[in-house]
């Protein structure tokens, strides 16, 4: 799928970008180019140390910001595939710096779209978040706007052979700023701060997130928001899995935080199809394909009326034992209780 192609990853020095690079090099040894586009020269330097140029000549490093359309266009010359992972993601950071979040997450998305249209790119997949579903914080609202921009881009492509789609998933196990590494750091203090005892979240490994993007690249028609069928966990089970000996201190839900996350609302379900391993929310306005086109293309079926996909009402749950096994596999091979 990617052999002989040039792939650009915005925000390519983040957790997702690093795992995506590793996966491409493993599965597609004949990839033409992998362009890591990001603002952070230190993180780019660290990736260069892991993949020296004499051994991995297909890697390219572009210092750039998705806010800069001209630089984005320059980076996209002769690119076949764009994975858009760059974003301001911290909820509290976005609330305190709203304009900066909008410029990166919304204006940046539009710049990626225009660069892709200008440069003859064939496939674009943008990363979203469960916080974009019925958002209550600015980060989620900007990602919802970004999702709408990428879906709508299929309507303005004209005769260009290009497809834009989105992948949306929940908490990535072990990613920077997430609860698992936070609890592992706090374990030594003997007290774990819990926001609310009833809180739940969706759970996905970084590799499964990458696999989902690969699936979207290989199967998208354009305009879909792909959503994985993944388990939920209870925050108290995470605490028990990591540090059963620690005291639990309830500190209250933070501003802009939900008790349970959603990925498909009952209103979204009117435009949602079941692909088997994944769901896909279809664009509400499409001048390119009909709902039947999507159903036929994906060999899918519509979800039941009133369907709702929430971490609190999920039918699949992680156990304390399964969480410990996954932490050992995906976060810290030396983890032990």
For the annotated catalytic residues, the residue numbers are: 131
Cβ–Cβ under 8 Å, residues 85 and 16: yes
Containing 212, the helix (H) or strand (E) segment is helix 206-219
d(CA 333, CA 327): 8
DSSP 127-149: E--GGGSS--SHHHHHHHHHHHH
Tokens (6 digits) for 223: 């305009």
CA nearest to 14, candidates 172, 238, 226: 172
Task: Provide CB contacts within 8 A for 99, sequence distance 6+.
Answer: none
Cβ–Cβ under 8 Å, residues 277 and 228: yes
Q: Look at the block and give the residue holding tokens 């605490």.
A: 239
289-308 in b/e form (b: 16+ CB < 10 A) is beeeebbeebebeebeeebb
Q: What is the dihedral of CA 166, 305, 257, 197, to 10 degrees?
A: -130
d(CA 86, CA 126): 9
Containing 155, the helix (H) or strand (E) segment is none
CA nearest to 169, candidates 262, 303, 271: 262
CA nearest to 165, candidates 147, 183, 177: 147
Question: Looking at the DSSP assignment, which residues form a beta bridge with residue 301?
Answer: 274
Containing 263, the helix (H) or strand (E) segment is strand 262-264
């Amino acid at each position: 799928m990617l052999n002989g192609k040039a792939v650009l990853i915005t925000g390519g020095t983040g957790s997702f970008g690093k795992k995506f690079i590793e996966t491409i090099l493993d599965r597609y040894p004949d990839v033409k180019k992998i362009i890591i586009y990001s603002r952070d020269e230190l993180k780019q330097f660290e990736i260069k140390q892991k993949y020296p140029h004499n051994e991995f000549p297909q890697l390219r490093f572009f210092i750039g910001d998705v806010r800069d359309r001209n630089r984005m266009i320059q980076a996209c010359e002769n690119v076949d595939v764009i994975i858009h992972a760059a974003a301001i993601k911290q909820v509290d950071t976005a609330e305190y710096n709203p304009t900066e979040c909008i410029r990166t997450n919304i204006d940046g998305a539009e710049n990626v779209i225009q660069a892709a249209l200008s440069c003859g790119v064939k496939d674009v997949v943008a990363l979203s978040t469960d916080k974009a579903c019925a958002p209550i914080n600015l980060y989620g609202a900007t990602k919802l706007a970004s999702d709408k921009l990428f879906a709508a881009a299929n309507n303005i492509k004209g005769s260009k052979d290009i497809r834009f789609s989105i992948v949306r998933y929940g908490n990535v196990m072990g990613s920077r700023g997430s609860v698992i590494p936070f609890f592992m750091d706090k374990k030594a203090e003997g007290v774990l701060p819990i926001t609310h005892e009833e809180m739940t979240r969706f759970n996905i490994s970084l590799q499964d997130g990458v696999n989902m993007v690969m699936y979207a690249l290989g199967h998208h028609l354009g305009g879909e928001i792909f959503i994985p069928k993944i388990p939920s966990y209870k925050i108290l089970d995470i605490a028990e899995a990591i540090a059963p000996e620690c005291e639990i201190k309830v500190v209250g839900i933070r501003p802009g935080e939900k008790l349970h996350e959603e990925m498909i609302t009952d209103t979204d379900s009117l435009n949602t199809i079941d692909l088997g391993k994944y769901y896909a929310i279809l664009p509400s306005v499409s001048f390119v394909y009909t709902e039947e086109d999507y159903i036929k293309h994906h060999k899918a079926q519509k979800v039941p009326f009133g369907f709702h996909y929430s971490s609190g009402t999920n039918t699949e749950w992680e156990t304390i034992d399964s969480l410990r096994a996954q932490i050992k596999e995906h976060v810290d091979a030396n983890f032990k209780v």
